[in-house]
Structure 1
Amino acid sequence: MATAALKRITPDEYLARERHAEFRSEYLNGRILAMTGASLQHAEIVLNIGSTLRDRLRARGCRVFVNDVRVRIASVSGYVYPDVVALCGTPAVLDTRPPTLTNPHLVIEVLSGTTERYDRGEKFEAYRASEALAEYVLVDSRRVHVERYVRHGDFWVHSAATELDTTLELSSVGTALTLREIYADVQFDGGSEE
């Protein structure tokens, strides 16, 4: 989860800092954005999505990564840590420490009160410039609400779902998830289990 931005630096300065940092941070448009801890709901949703996708995609040679895989967004000199990343085929990786993935087909971000504006705005704008990315999914950690953006040429087509029995097609990796699978065992602040 991103927090307040610090002073502007170059991509090389960011990579040098990140190599020895105790805590992860993202880099976008010359700014470092420190990452903070996640809520229980956020962590559970990421685990639900990551484990379900991995089970479904593994036999087809697709890869699924959660939380700690850095992704480079080349056109805006960005380095980010998506909640879930998936791709089918060979991962393209930069020889940085830690390694940096450059060709995700699917990125899923789990929203919180502190990350929603960033994930919907500046970060999504940067992702849209990535040629490899075909699908961007936003999952709310505070209520049942999922939004999907799919690339169609120069345009992104949006859809949203709020019902647990809705199936979310993930065309970029050729599978689907139900919202019930995404929100399995998640208890929202009101204490109700979804």
Structure 2
Amino acid sequence: MIAANETPPRLTPDQYLVWEETQPEKHEYVDDKVYAMGGGSVNHGRIVIRLTSLLEAHLEGSNCITGNSDIKVKSANSPNYTYPDASVTCDERDRTTP
């Protein structure tokens, strides 16, 4: 059986945000292209857990929060949206963003 190649849509950043809300899977938006997120390996998962645990411990008592790959990130000065394995933000606005 041959699987059909589905061409991801080309969207603006605003269109991507609306479109992704209706998708059952997560997608990253990089350079006007949409990429479905795949699963990782056991070793990859273990490394990410260790890294985020270290970040969380280091930031304890600060106003910063640690995120994992469930959190979509848009970096300043970039139109891209990604789901990094680990992230840190100290911006108060991120504490109230769903």
Query: How high is the TM-score relative to the length of structure 1?
Result: 0.42
The change in CA–CA distance for 1:5 and 1:49 in structure 2 (over 3 A counts) is farther
Tell me the secondary structure at the aligned position of residue 21 of structure 2.
helix
After TM superposition, give the deviation of residue 74 of structure 1 in Å: 4.7
After TM superposition, give the deviation of residue 90 of structure 1 in Å: 3.0
Q: Deviations over 1:55-79 (max 9, x none)?
A: 2212223211111111113534211
Corresponding residue for residue 24 of structure 2: 22
Corresponding residue for residue 37 of structure 2: 35
Tell me the secondary structure at the aligned position of residue 86 of structure 1.
strand
Corresponding residue for residue 65 of structure 1: 67
The change in CA–CA distance for 1:56 and 1:79 in structure 2 (over 3 A counts) is same
- Unaligned regions of 5+ residues in structure 2, if any? 1-5
Count of aligned pairs: 92
Q: Deviations over 1:138-188 (max 9, x none)?
A: xxxxxxxxxxxxxxxxxxxxxxxxxxxxxxxxxxxxxxxxxxxxxxxxxxx
RMSD: 2.3
Whole-angstrom CA distance in 2 between matches of 1:90 and 1:79: 17
Whole-angstrom CA distance in 2 between matches of 1:76 and 1:65: 19
Bigger shift: residues 9-18 or 33-42: 9-18
After TM superposition, give the deviation of residue 12 of structure 1 in Å: 1.8
Matches within 5 A, 1:88-99: 89-93=90-94, 99=98
The change in CA–CA distance for 1:40 and 1:91 in structure 2 (over 3 A counts) is farther
Structure 1 position 56 matched with structure 2 position 58 = yes
Greater helix share, structure number:
2
Residue identity matched to 1:30: D
Greater strand share, structure number:
1
Corresponding residue for residue 48 of structure 2: 46
- Unaligned regions of 5+ residues in structure 1, if any? 100-194
Query: How high is the TM-score relative to the length of structure 2?
Result: 0.78
Whole-angstrom CA distance in 2 between matches of 1:55 and 1:76: 29
